[in-house]
Amino acid sequence: MDNNIYLIGFMGTGKSTVGKQMAEKLGWNHIDTDDVIEDKYKMSIPKVFEKFGEDSFRRLENQVISDLSAKSRNIVSTGGGTPIYHGNIDIMKDSGLVIHLETSTDILWKRLKGLGGRPILKIYDTFEKFNRLYLDRKTVYDMADMIINIGERSVIQVVDECIDRIFYQR
Ligand code: S3P
């Protein structure tokens, strides 16, 4: 299995941390789509939203995913909205294996509420709105090739389960 591995899922599911550790274990390259955008534009994601708006941010995300789809052996940690827009879910599925890191919105809401740095949380600022956004996105998340329930497990347990299921159980 040489193709890219894409981690998708709602905000707060640990896509970046899990991706980084998976890449270290496998000796693959790790790419975080938010980091690529921040590095390229030399500004934080909230600033990108503020200055250019969400539509432009979604176009940038699509550019990053399209560029990566021509490459291999990358563990790609995506943003929570990445698979939803511009057919990115299909681009990812066509160029690698897509893993959905999943847990309940109760756990995620507890983890994230009150934290800064996520412009989407300014709009979806109550549990009801947050949960509705998750449900709206879930059909796309469920198109992943593999779903890993992260529950309250540690990062390393999730990393090991991903690697085990990708390379030893399929
Ligand atoms: C977003 C999630 C964020 C980031 C941006 C938009 C979303 O990434 O890409 O703020 O639409 O859910 P994380 O999932 O890493 O928080």
- Structural domains of the chain in order of their starting residue, each with its CATH number: 4-169 (3.40.50.300)
Q: Residue 135: is it exposed, middle or buried by C-beta count within 10 angstroms (0-12/13-18/19+)?
A: exposed
Residue 76 φ/ψ, nearest 5 degrees: -110, 115
Q: What is the Rg, in whole angstroms, of the alpha carbon atoms belonging to the chain?
A: 15
Sign of CA dihedral 44, 21, 7, 127: negative
Q: How far is the CA of 32 from the centre of ligand 1 (A)?
A: 11
The pLDDT, as a whole number, for residue 9 is: 98
Nearest CA to ligand 1 atom 9: 79
- Percent of the chain predicted with pLDDT > 70: 99
Q: How far is the CA of 168 from the centre of ligand 1 (A)?
A: 31
The pLDDT, as a whole number, for residue 151 is: 87
> Average pLDDT of the chain?
95
Query: What does the block give as tokens for 152?
Result: 């309250």
Instruction: Give the confidence band of 141 by pLDDT, cuts at 50, 70, 90.
Output: very high
Q: Residue 1 pLDDT more than 80?
A: no
Residue of 35, 82, 120, 135 with the most ligand 1 atoms within 8 Å of its CB, for mutation: 120
> Which tens digits make up the pLDDT trace of 64-84?
999 999 999 999 999 999 999
Total-model pTM: 0.96
pLDDT mean over 149-170: 91
Q: Residue 170 pLDDT more than 80?
A: no
The pLDDT, as a whole number, for residue 115 is: 85
Nearest CA to ligand 1 atom 3: 79
Q: Residue 133: is it exposed, middle or buried by C-beta count within 10 angstroms (0-12/13-18/19+)?
A: buried
Q: Residue 122 pLDDT more than 80?
A: yes
Q: How far is the CA of 153 from the centre of ligand 1 (A)?
A: 21
Q: Residue 153 pLDDT more than 60?
A: yes
Query: What does the block give as tokens for 89?
Result: 């879910």
Instruction: Give the confidence band of 108 by pLDDT, cuts at 50, 70, 90.
Output: very high
Q: Residue 18 pLDDT more than 80?
A: yes
